[in-house]
Amino acid sequence: MTKTKLTAEIEAVLSKGEKAFIPYIMAGDGGLELLKEQILFLQENGATAIEVGIPFSDPVADGPTIQRAGERSLANGTNLRLIIQALDSFHEKVHIPLILMTYFNPILSYGLETFSKDCQRIGIAGLIVPDVPVEESNQLRASLQDTDIALVPLVSLTSPPERIAKIIALGEGFIYAVTVNGITGVRNGFDEQLEQHLILLKELCPIPVLAGFGISSPEQVVSMGAITDGVIVGSAIVEAFHLNNKEKIVELIQASKKQVSIS
């Protein structure tokens, strides 16, 4: 397994005794002109990497908060090509990895080879495509093979052991451990078997394991980070930017820097 830039950046954070924190934002929510400001704000306040969401009309994994953000973005005329152009305009100021989270149709419309070349040119470090399962990822992998872009896989709570092994074998960047059975969104609690699931993934994976879906408070950042290598926080970040509550975002990021693994 070739170590990508994304893996190296996460491991650098872990080596300092901190946990990785990857916020998710919806590109174009509030206007694409905010994208630079949001990314640089997250970078300046200690995000490990940033997951940049691409709005899509039929998102299968997104909960209500992110769906509404995507609808606002689409209403502003946002699309993948415009987002790539916006990122290109300031990519030299971005010093942490950017991960694009999109569905497969926008990539197909863009053109697989053109998309991978443009992403490589502007420094995109990772790609998350929830509607492309590992069994159907060969075409996408082939388009990325000459790049340093990690195709980050998702592992669900219900994945059987043999499928988890297959996903891990092909995993790049980090393993995205989905913490709930369902869509994204704020949760008050998690399945009682989740801890054992995350501990098992950590034991099996040669690359970092990050927990995502439903993590929305500093306390959850700490508790999830204690048994993994870090967290991805989406809905809480999207809502905080929408409400201009940047203090909440800083609190969430800082929580990742105050913990020691119990594993």
Enumerate the domain spans of the chain.
Answer: 5-255
Q: pTM to 2 decimals? A: 0.93
- Between these two residues, 102 and 193, which has the higher pLDDT value? 102
pLDDT at 181: 63
CATH number of 5-255: 3.40.1500.10, 3.20.20.70, 3.10.20.30, 1.20.950.20?
Answer: 3.20.20.70
Question: Of 178, 181, 179, 174, nearest to 209 (Cα)?
Answer: 174
**Residues with a known catalytic role:** 51, 62
Average pLDDT, the chain: 91
State how far the Cα of 151 lies from the Cα of 173, in Å rounded to an integer: 7
Q: Which two three-digit tokens encode residue 172?
A: 């790049």
* pLDDT above 60 (res 259): no
Round to whole Å and give the CA distance between 98 and 96.
7
For the stretch 2-55, pLDDT in tens is: 679 999 999 999 999 999 999 999 999 999 999 999 999 999 999 999 999 999
